[in-house]
Amino acid sequence: MDYSVKEIAAALGAVAVGDTTRKIARAAEPATAGPADLALAMNPKYAEGLAASAAKVALLWPDADWQSFGLEAAILPDRPRFAMAGLTRMLDAGQGFANGIHPSAVIDPSAELGEGVSVGPLAIISAGAKIGARSVIGPHCFVGQDVTLGADAYLREQVSIGARVQIGARFIAQPGARIGGDGFSFVTAEPSTVEAARHSLGDQGDAKLQPWARIHSLGAVTIGDDVEIGMGATIDCGTIRNTVIGDGSKLDNQVHLGHNVVVGKHCLLCGQVGVAGSVTIGDHVVLGGQVGVSDNIFIGAGVIAGGGTKLMTNVPAGRSMLGYPGTQMDKQVESYKAMRRLPRLLRDVEALKNAVFKSGKAD
Amino acid sequence: MDYSVKEIAAALGAVAVGDTTRKIARAAEPATAGPADLALAMNPKYAEGLAASAAKVALLWPDADWQSFGLEAAILPDRPRFAMAGLTRMLDAGQGFANGIHPSAVIDPSAELGEGVSVGPLAIISAGAKIGARSVIGPHCFVGQDVTLGADAYLREQVSIGARVQIGARFIAQPGARIGGDGFSFVTAEPSTVEAARHSLGDQGDAKLQPWARIHSLGAVTIGDDVEIGMGATIDCGTIRNTVIGDGSKLDNQVHLGHNVVVGKHCLLCGQVGVAGSVTIGDHVVLGGQVGVSDNIFIGAGVIAGGGTKLMTNVPAGRSMLGYPGTQMDKQVESYKAMRRLPRLLRDVEALKNAVFKSGKAD
Amino acid sequence: MDYSVKEIAAALGAVAVGDTTRKIARAAEPATAGPADLALAMNPKYAEGLAASAAKVALLWPDADWQSFGLEAAILPDRPRFAMAGLTRMLDAGQGFANGIHPSAVIDPSAELGEGVSVGPLAIISAGAKIGARSVIGPHCFVGQDVTLGADAYLREQVSIGARVQIGARFIAQPGARIGGDGFSFVTAEPSTVEAARHSLGDQGDAKLQPWARIHSLGAVTIGDDVEIGMGATIDCGTIRNTVIGDGSKLDNQVHLGHNVVVGKHCLLCGQVGVAGSVTIGDHVVLGGQVGVSDNIFIGAGVIAGGGTKLMTNVPAGRSMLGYPGTQMDKQVESYKAMRRLPRLLRDVEALKNAVFKSGKAD
């Protein structure tokens, strides 16, 4: 962290203007930016704050009149939002995990560690595990039996990975991410109340109540390249085959994937999303926070679901969805508006009934 | 894992047909099953895939015409779904946790370990804890002071159990399951805005804003026999008495139980269910994914709630529920359908008003 | 735990009556209270149970006729609910964590531990961390690089705190609470399907599908004094500045705060609340269980949201909210009632149409 304006602009493929030899200490929001900081003011709504600040260097929008803000230098990327990816990668101070194998780690002699692997204090690597080159296994992490983890993985503290899970390159796991628990699959000796209710939608007053027998998970989890899993997220094993997460998909904190789920490539699953067992999700799907997906359904490629949506039936590719139950977004918004008019509607219909039927009677 | 068809069928109480001496290497879905695998094709919808596969042995439905699929042997259970429980138990390769006490585990001298207990690397067992015979305490697990854990427990990695929790036999905890945190119970010196809003349903613009005082949890958690708790699930202690989970109940990943909750026997609480404090749930209740239950209410025996349902008032035994707020399932489905007709209804009423009142005026 | 009635009453600032020298062994609910217990019967609805019990001492409501219940002594606080805070603090048996530094803990030589700090078995304290006086770092906890933790903190088992997080005095973290993961922030090289859908609310059949580039979190988390965080809760770092939790706020189990969120002072966020990135929440806000808050909005001071509410737009100070989308509580309840009348309304309008338009045609 002591780049010049010129170096940063070059790394971002952006235009640099003014005194581009100035050094940057850190990035800052305009309100708190000092003369040694790079103020981030990525669209004109930040212009006023920037002009009032002590900032002398800023990352701005493409055609910004940078000199009008009292700056001595500026970086002008084509798409400032995208430039944030490169900039924050350059300036990330990281967690400070030490290189090498900490002496307190417990590593089975049969585990295979690639070149340059680091293992933090009190981490455990089990028999038969294979860790790709340059991967970092954080403090208190647990890597189970016969796990395969690709090159350049970065596991934060207290991550757990169960037996036989297979993970591609450049995997990132946030603290306490959990991969490879058993699926939640139970069955009764005779058809259960749930099986009955799915058909009838009715009550089951006299259905036979029985204990649950456990269906063990024989499968594991297969995760592609460039996947990231959030804090406290939980990924279940498959029953017979593996649960799957495709290349480039990112799962936020507390996301839950049930057994046999298939997530496509380049999906975003936001905080607290829950996906029930045996769901298939296509590529480039985006599920907002707290979205729920019912078991055994199909979500097509490119689907977007707004926060809190409950997807309960198959969704064709490319749809934008919202609501409970999930409905096409524009229709759902129309429905929300109609609901707000409901109390008035009830009064209108009452008035109509009085006018039509009472006057009818009076005839 | 190298059972014959005959052995598997006998264990499942199922009919075996064909060359029942064939050995099975593993279970597989029809699409990927090879000649040494047991293809799982448990109802006729899998028939086509099975015929096209390389499978030579399959688990089928009761009256399946097994020879028509090119098989050399088959297992025909009465209820194939239930047979999955026995089959997967036989074929489960497990986590490979080693027997015995790992030297890196930290075990208080006053803890009592039953015969054949295993304790994984870097696990902690606190003073006064009692662990039943043959129980497995996984890597990185924490067992608190004076905890009682029954026989044949299986704790996966990184499970934590707080002080004084009492757990029955055959307990299963998935990775990172958490039992025995303090309840979330706070009180203000004078009645709070929440107490006011519960009565008025209105706003509280000038209510006095006060800091929260903590009510400590003096109780712990009592868990019956044959209970399973999912990854990242969190079970709070009771305030005065213990929070309770009855025999045979299963809680999925990220389920949350507040303080004083009582869950009956043989319940299923699916992924991300949240149950607020002091709720009582009867036996054989099934709550779908992301169901929420408001505090201080009663859910009768045998109740089923569909995914995403928010139960906000007492629910009589045997009801099937859906929606927010939770409503009887058939009425809720009728209501969803009506909502979709709302925009048209608004237009219809507008037309009626024009016809009735404008024509009335024109008279 | 062996206080007299007089001592307890004095600590609570409550009136003591009868034989106030009696000693109390523990608190109990009326149904299970024995002669040596303090029965908790804090309002008249418990009166009958109390009279039928073996209790000889009870905590009652202000004007209770204590002698009519067969008691020999009683404590009569002005606000019994508030008295519970003081009482449970006195009687809390705690977790039994040992004082001092356990020899199995891994503590970097550059970490600074205040006077009287305790560190549990297998805990990790990283380089540059500063731990305030008398703080308790529980078993298996991880404290990251350059973390600052105030005096009198109490971390239960398996808590993790990432690099550079700053926490005030008297912090409480329940088991597995996680602070300081990276924010969930990804961007595409060209505008994404999500950016398009936010404007159109429509589908995006032919939008270009692109991989996600990661925006790193350069900020950390700042937590005030007297904050408590529940089991499995996850608090993300900010992107440029820190995510903030104000003094006195309490977060329940499995609460999720995204990057850049600001939570005010003395808020209560109940179980499984999810707050998306860059939300600002005022002081004294109460969010019920499973509430969701959409990204980049503002929740005013004193707002209360009922369980399951999804707040999707700014909420003015002092509002009580309910529903999905979140609406003023009284209006939402009116709307729920109207929805239940919808099927009948549809029939009514059908009848009106028949009467008005068919009779019209018949003219």
Please give the ipTM for the structure prediction.
0.95
A174, amino acid identity: Q
> Can you tell me the distance from the alpha carbon of C121 to that of C141, in angstroms, rounded to the nearest whole number?
9
Answer whether A346 sits within 8 Å of C349, measured CB to CB: no
Residue of C nearest to B163 (CA): C95
Asked if A82 reaches chain C (Cβ–Cβ under 8 Å), the answer is: yes
Which residues of C form the catalytic set? Answer: 259
pLDDT digits (tens, 9 = 90+) for A10-38: 999 999 999 999 999 899 999 899 999 99
Query: What tokens were used for C13?
Result: 């600032």
Cα separation, C203 vs A335, whole angstroms: 17
Neighbours of B267 (CB within 10 A): 25
Residue A351: both structure tokens together: 């008035």
pLDDT bin (cut points 50, 70, 90) of residue C65 is: very high
Query: Mean pLDDT across the stretch B268-273?
Result: 98
Each residue's pLDDT tens digit, B204-258:
655 667 899 999 999 999 999 999 999 999 999 999 999 999 999 999 999 999 9
pLDDT attached to residue B192: 81
Confidence check: pLDDT of C279 > 70: yes
Q: What are the residues facing A124 on neighbouring strands?
A: A106, A142
Mean pLDDT of chain A: 94
pLDDT at residue C192 tops 90: no
- Please state the rounded mean pLDDT for residues A247-267: 98
Q: Is C178 in CB contact (< 8 Å) with chain B?
A: no
Average pLDDT, chain B: 94
- pLDDT confidence of residue A267: 98
Give the pLDDT of residue A48: 84
Q: How far is A163 from chain B (nearest CA, A)?
A: 5
Residue A168 is encoded by which pair of tokens? 């591609």
Residue B363's pLDDT band, with cuts at 50, 70 and 90, is very low
Determine whether domain B3-91 maps to CATH 3.40.1390.10. yes
More confident residue, B341 or A78: A78
Cis amide linkage into residue B80, ω under 30° from 0:
no
Mean pLDDT, residues A236-242: 97
DSSP assignment of C68-135 equals GGT-SEEEE-SSHHHHHHHHHHHH-----PPSSB-TT-EE-TT-EE-TT-EE-TT-EE-TT-EE-TT-
CB contact under 8 A, B163 and C95: yes
The residue whose two tokens read 């089990």 is A126
C193–A284: do the CB atoms touch at under 8 Å?
Answer: yes
Structure tokens at B50: 């099975």
pLDDT tens-digit readout, A175-198: 999 999 999 999 999 888 777 777
Alpha-carbon Rg for chain A, nearest whole angstrom, is 27
Q: What is the mean pLDDT of chain C?
A: 94
Q: Which two tokens stand for residue C65?
A: 């006729």
Nearest CA to B290 out of A262, C278, A325, C184 is that of A325
Model confidence pLDDT, tens digit, residues A140-160? 999 999 999 999 999 999 999
Residue with tokens 């003073």: B127
Of A40, A89, A323, Cβ closest to residue C240? A40
Residue A363: per-residue pLDDT = 43
Answer yes or no: do A286 and C327 touch at CB < 8 A: no
Per-residue model confidence (pLDDT) at position C206: 57
| CA–CA distance, B273 with A59 (Å, rounded to integer) | 44
Residue C74's pLDDT band, with cuts at 50, 70 and 90, is very high
Q: Which amino acid is at C134?
A: R
Q: Is the pLDDT of residue A226 over 80?
A: yes
The Cα–Cα gap between C31 and C54 comes to 8
Taking the C-alpha atoms of residue A267 and residue C354, their distance in angstroms, rounded to an integer, is 50
Q: Which residue is listed with tokens 């209820």? A: B79
Q: DSSP H helical segments within chain C, as ranges? A: 5-12, 47-51, 80-91, 193-200, 329-340, 342-353, 359-362
Q: What are phi and psi of A179, to 5 degrees?
A: -125, 130
- CA C291, CA C305: separation in Å to the nearest integer? 7
Please report which confidence band the pLDDT of residue B202 belongs to, taking 50, 70 and 90 as the band edges.
confident
Tell if the CB–CB gap between B338 and C357 is shorter than 8 Å.
Answer: no
Task: Provide CB contacts within 8 A for C177, sequence distance 6+.
Answer: C156, C159, C160, C229, C230, C231, C232, C233
Predicted pLDDT of residue C201: 73
For the segment A161-165, the average pLDDT, to the nearest whole number, is 98
Run of H or E including A344: helix A342-353
Q: Does B329 touch chain A (CB under 8 A)?
A: yes
**Angle separating helix axes C329-340 and B329-340, nearest 10 degrees:** 100
Q: State the pairing for strand pair A154-155/A136-137.
A: parallel
The predicted structure's pLDDT at residue A204:
64
C342 touches chain A (CB under 8 A): yes
CA distances from B303 to A12, A186, B14, B285, B315 (A): 57, 17, 32, 5, 8
Cβ distance C227 to C168 under 8 Å? yes
Which partners does chain C have (≥3 C-beta pairs < 8 Å)? A, B
In this predicted model, what pLDDT tens digit does every residue of B110-128 receive, in sequence order?
A: 999 999 999 999 999 999 9
Residue A54 has what pLDDT? 93
Mean pLDDT (whole number) for B147-174: 98
CA distance to partner chain A, nearest, from residue B147 (Å): 23
**Which amino acid does the sequence have at A302?**
G
Could you tell me the two tokens for B300?
């009768």
Among B24, B1, B17, residue whose Cα is nearest residue B60 = B17
Q: How many residues does chain B have?
A: 363
Give the number of residues written for chain C.
363
With beta carbons under 8 A apart, name residues in chain A contacting C146: 96
Instruction: List the Cα angle C81/C87/C89 in 5-degree steps.
Output: 115
Domain ranges within chain C, ordered by starting residue? 3-91, 337-363
**In the prediction, which pLDDT does A93 show?**
95
Q: How far is it, in rounded angstroms, from Cα A77 to Cα A75?
A: 6
More confident: B123 or B198: B123
* pLDDT given for residue B258 in this prediction: 98
> Which pLDDT band, with edges at 50, 70 and 90, does C195 fall under?
confident
What pLDDT, on the 0 to 100 scale, is given for residue A206?
57
Cα–Cα distance, C220 to C232 (Å, whole number): 19
pLDDT, tens digit, 9 for 90 and up, residues B125-153: 999 999 999 999 999 999 999 999 999 99
Name the residue among A86, A139, A226 with its Cβ closest to that of C142: A139
Q: Is C23 on the interface with A (CB under 8 A)?
A: no
Torsion of CA A351, A352, A355, A359, to 10 degrees: -130
- Own/partner long-range contacts of B149-157 (Cβ < 8 Å, ≥24 apart): B150/B225, B151/B114, B156/A162, B156/A181, B156/B95, B157/A124, B157/A142, B157/A144, B157/A160, B157/A162, B157/B120
In angstroms, the CA A215 to CA B89 distance is 7
Q: How far apart, in Å, are the Cα atoms of B64 and each of B38, B87, B326, C43? A: 15, 19, 41, 65
Q: Give the gyration radius of chain B's Cα atoms.
A: 27
- Residue B247 contacts residue B225 (beta carbons within 8 Å): yes
What is the tens place of the pLDDT at every residue in C2-28? Answer: 899 999 999 999 999 999 999 998 999
A339–chain C Cβ distance below 8 A for any pair:
yes
**B209 near C284, Cβ under 8 Å?**
yes
pLDDT tops 50 at residue B362: no
Say yes or no to pLDDT of A205 above 70: no
Of A160, A149, A170, A16, the residue nearest A89 (C-alpha) = A170
Rounded CA gap, B77 and B12, in Å?
7
User: Which residue out of A140, A310, A340 would a mutagenesis test of the B interface target, given it has the greatest number of B Cβ atoms within 10 Å?
Assistant: A310
Q: What pLDDT is recorded for position B210?
A: 87
Average confidence (pLDDT) over C280-294: 98
C176 touches chain A (CB under 8 A): yes
